[in-house]
Amino acid sequence: MSHQYRKHFTPLESNPSLFTSLAHTLGLSPALEFHDVLSLHDADLLSLTPRPAHALIIVFPTSPNYEAELTTKDKDITQYTSSGDNEPIIWYKQTINNACGLYAILHAVSNGHARDFIIPNSHLYQLLTTCTPLNPQDRAAFLENDTNLEAAYKTVALQGDSAVPENPEDEVDFHYVCFVRSPKNGHLYELDGDRKGPINLGEFEEDDLLSERGLRVLKEFIEKTECEGGVSLLALAPAE
């Protein structure tokens, strides 16, 4: 991605243990964890993931044309400006390079029933309390300047087994997108900090995002993004 970022982080490996460690460090209850989703097609493998899935994070390789395709998709979309009680979900604009894993985690734990599992007075609780009434630009600036968030992220990011760029300003060829359901209006949302705002995917009655409808949405996303190779999926769900 060639956005003009103001800050740069080491990329976070798409490892459920690392995602869980960071979420718990920030203040998510141990009752929820991130889990690998091993298949979207094999019912037996799919059954290994605990339910309900409160949020899904898809990790996929980006093509050389990915950013141009996003620009085309968003050309007729108005920049998102909602905040507080006016928004059915909370969305974070990404202004930190290579931190799409962090934004995906924040999107997952800030929305839906996962919010009920945030420990009172934890850093995550305080972050949400501060960010919720802010407009997207001020919300993004707050995350950039959150030194405790940055320290927690860096500690976990360095624990991964995958090779990472020596220079955090170097680009990586994969991206994270989160899917959540809003209890406020019962709609499913695609949350990507590199877009102009949250993408409303319409009504979604089920609480489990790995329901039949949820699986269809994921398959359609993979097909439209042309990212069949190297895709992985994480679910935020009850701890085993």
Residues designated as active site: 100, 175
Q: Which residues contact 226 (CB under 8 A, 6 or more apart)?
A: 63
> What angle separates helix 123-131 from helix 136-144, to the nearest 10 degrees?
150
Count CB neighbours of 221 within 10 A.
Answer: 18
Q: Bin 15: left if φ > 0, else alpha if -120 < ψ < 50, else beta.
A: beta
Cα–Cα distance, 198 to 205 (Å, whole number): 19
CB 233 within 8 A of CB 58: yes
